[in-house]
Structure 1
Amino acid sequence: MTRILFYVQHLQGVGHVFRAARIVRALVAGGLDADVAYGGEPIGGFDIPGARIHYLPPVRAGGEVFNRLEDSEGNPIDDTYKERRRAMLLSLFDRAAPDIVITEAFPFGRRQMRFELLPLLERAKARPNRPLIVGSVRDILQENAKAYKDRETVELLKAHFDHVLVHADPNLVRLERTFPLTGEISDKLLYTGIVAPEPCPPAADRQFDVVVSVGGGALGHRLLMASAQAKAISSLRNARWLIVTGIKFSAEHRAELNTYIDGGVTVEAFLPNLQAILAGAQLSISRVGYNTIADIYRAGCRAIVVPFSDGIETEQIRRAELLAERGLAETIGHENETPEAVAAAIDRAMARPAPNRSSLNLDGARNSAQILKRLVAGEPVDRYR
């Protein structure tokens, strides 16, 4: 049986974790043996049946400075903490003896984790029966203001990696849109399609016309408030609304939100299966994160998207631009999160037919498993699947 060691580290948001979990479930379903090295703070209810999850001492991004690493109590991690994690990761590699090592995001991201990832890659390369080393990245990358970071990524890929799984439909978007040096690593890229959830029927006992969601909730306050106020001035004022605040939405913000909602609105903190709710909805209003958009694609509902922006992050802005270009969603600029803008977008979305997304490749998780099995077997793989 092919053995996989999948390294996953979330520093702030948890989208990477849930995309990786979808992939690992597909690996297990495809008959592969999976160990997951999990380096972020634990998430309640997180489980992947059939896979072994190994928790490293948790690390997160600093609350004030993103590049500063902290433990779960907010203390800066020191060399002793790093050495403890590094030793645990290398010991796991030795015990698992994987045929494939997968690093989620690295080296395109997670540079802060080089203190343990570079030793892991060196240990893998030094083993007599060398495993394949594979990167795993989303469709749209954070664009670097400093060109040396892209150059460093290319050099790390050339030095250590055999392949990169790009979780995108290449007919929709290709890596070169957000990574300018793609031409230098094109021989390593394997497009998998979009890592969407498995199809499921609408939740029969929970029917809503409009679903508003903002991921974890820490950065969605303005959009939730604008959406709640937009209800009364939109064409869907009499519809059934569900607002999902996210688990990091503060109590103060929840109290403020309560002042804007009426009897036609249900508010919840978390949905274990967003896609099942969206499958029965007419409209989604959300940020533009990878997993949320994959859920929308699979559900087939209309969508209004508003990218998150802090002046540094570019990923969601670029994905929103792509959706607007392709007519896949209505978009609102991140600088225009107002009730009037949301209401106008609702009216535009409902006046048009639902977008046709039938040509999108949404089988990225299953395709990833098939690609990895073929690589281990030495069989040819279509690089632009």
Structure 2
Amino acid sequence: MKIAMYWHNGRSLGHTAEMAKITKTLVESFSNTYMAGISGAFKGLDMLPSKVDIFKLPSFSNYDRKEGWSYIGNQGLPVEILFELRKKLIYDYLNIYMPDIFMANHLPNGLYNELIPALDLLKNSLKILTLRGILFDKEKTEKEYFSGEASKILKNYYDSIIVHIDPNIFALEDNYDIPDYIKEKIHYVGYLSPKFTLNKLESRNELGIPQNQKVIVASMAGGQGALNIWKKIIEALHTNRGHFDICYLITGPYLEYESKMILKKIGQDIPQICVMEYVSNMQTWMTASDLFIGAAGSSMLGEIISTSCNAIVIPRQIREIEQYIHSYELSKKGLLRVSSLKETCEGKLEKLILEAIKEPIDSSKHNINIDGLKNYPSLIQRKYEEVKGYEAKW
């Protein structure tokens, strides 16, 4: 059995983290399987199991700005030429590899329609789209997924849509107008972050953190373009410096070099701040902390739920509202605190940090479905057998 998985690139680690969790589960469940990742991601690939071969697409960086998305080819190619090249590479690779199962993350037609020619090749493959749950605002989501040409892509190319969220938090069909022929393809598995097994004592022992320290951990996930947010976080920490012993700032591997140097300089000047670039065991750091301050990406929110850490999240999207919706849905259930981007810039984070230190949230007794990975292998096998009409030999 051959499985190919596409994720476009991203400006953060979320898409790569999702695919890493899925591939790890499939590797452990299906011994007689080869897996290939197709992506322009250029950081965080060490999260993937060694069995997953990566077909690396030329990468780009994209910035979320008020005036629109800004895509820059990392190799200096103009955007139009870059995506034409990526389209040809995807087509040629899949034409030779010809997977039994093809999985696309988040973008059914790929960025700039780079998947469309390849999808026409895969008539005999099981084709699965994976979605994080909350997409965009209603109008944009329906335009890009559930109406017109977009809905035809889901109807004609994809056999199943697997959604990585508990529908009690957010159900697609309750928030977007979705045709019935697409609704019947949707399967909710829950969040992809099962209950974390280490407790705070064990996590601190693993990381070498003294048990008597009051510890804050902060992460903006991949971190691209996050310097201004980091400055506001540091201001808020400085105001509350009498209430904690140390804060580990995990900048993220996508933070620009110049910004990274600025933060390292700040870290040298403030004894209570320790600047780190990247960790592969973020849930251990979350659990070890007395307070975690994080970005509000879907993957990180799932990890916050799974660790039950005392958390403040910052929805950092400028032109989209997915992170804002998701984080506030979880805050209404008492699982975390939220400081919007506007509130963070206006200084609300200072008060929120003090509140979170003095009155930590205990979310360990939630009933949210976080066992999505447990359901993945059987769902994929069932869908494969439905499409093929015979039992799969895994």
Q: Which residue of 2 aligns with 1:190?
A: 187
Aligned positions of 1:160-309 closer than 5 A: 160-176=157-173, 179-181=176-178, 185-196=182-193, 199-201=196-198, 202-204=203-205, 205-207=207-209, 209-234=215-240, 237-247=243-253, 248-252=255-259, 254-255=261-262, 258-259=265-266, 262-309=270-317
The answer to whether the aligner puts 1:58 opposite 2:59 as a matched pair is yes
SS of residue in 2 equivalent to 1:271 = coil
For 2:5, give the aligned amino acid: F
**1:138–1:166: 8 Å Cα contact kept in structure 2?**
yes
Q: Which residue of 2 aligns with 1:363?
A: 371
**1:227–1:339: 8 Å Cα contact kept in structure 2?**
no
For 1:17, give the aligned amino acid: T
CA–CA distance in structure 2, aligned partners of residues 335 and 293 of structure 1: 20
Note the C-alpha offset of 1:369: 2.2
How big is each residue's C-alpha offset from its partner over 1:212-231, in whole Å with a ceiling of 9 and x where there is no partner?
Answer: 11122233323322222323
Structure 2 unaligned residues grouped into runs of 5+: 390-394
The answer to whether the aligner puts 1:139 opposite 2:133 as a matched pair is yes
Aligned positions of 1:24-173 closer than 5 A: 24-31=23-30, 33-43=33-43, 46=46, 47-61=48-62, 70-78=72-80, 84-107=85-108, 110-112=110-112, 114=113, 116-125=114-123, 130-143=124-137, 145-146=139-140, 148-150=143-145, 151=147, 152-173=149-170
Note the C-alpha offset of 1:253: 6.3
CA–CA distance in structure 2, aligned partners of residues 156 and 369 of structure 1: 25
Note the C-alpha offset of 1:353: 4.2
Name the one with the larger helix percent: 2
The answer to whether the aligner puts 1:319 opposite 2:326 as a matched pair is yes
Q: CA 1:34 to 1:361, structure 2 compared with 1: closer, same or farther past 3 Å? A: farther
Measured on the aligned residues, the alpha-carbon RMSD in Å equals 3.1
Q: Which residue of 2 aligns with 1:383?
A: none
Structure 1 unaligned residues grouped into runs of 5+: 381-385
**1:9–1:40: 8 Å Cα contact kept in structure 2?**
yes
The more displaced of 324-333 and 91-100 is 91-100
CA–CA distance in structure 2, aligned partners of residues 228 and 183 of structure 1: 49
The more displaced of 2-11 and 260-269 is 260-269
CA–CA distance in structure 2, aligned partners of residues 102 and 253 of structure 1: 34
**1:41–1:60: 8 Å Cα contact kept in structure 2?**
no
How big is each residue's C-alpha offset from its partner over 1:291-311, in whole Å with a ceiling of 9 and x where there is no partner?
Answer: 21122122221111111132x
Q: Which residue of 1 aligns with 2:392?
A: none
Note the C-alpha offset of 1:164: 0.2
Q: CA 1:182 to 1:143, structure 2 compared with 1: closer, same or farther past 3 Å? A: farther
Q: CA 1:300 to 1:68, structure 2 compared with 1: closer, same or farther past 3 Å? A: closer
Q: CA 1:253 to 1:8, structure 2 compared with 1: closer, same or farther past 3 Å? A: closer
Residue correspondences, number = 370
Q: CA 1:353 to 1:48, structure 2 compared with 1: closer, same or farther past 3 Å? A: closer
**2:160–2:383: 8 Å Cα contact kept in structure 1?**
no
Percent identity over paired residues: 21
Note the C-alpha offset of 1:68: 7.1
**1:243–1:268: 8 Å Cα contact kept in structure 2?**
yes
For 1:271, give the aligned amino acid: V
CA–CA distance in structure 1, aligned partners of residues 247 and 325 of structure 2: 28
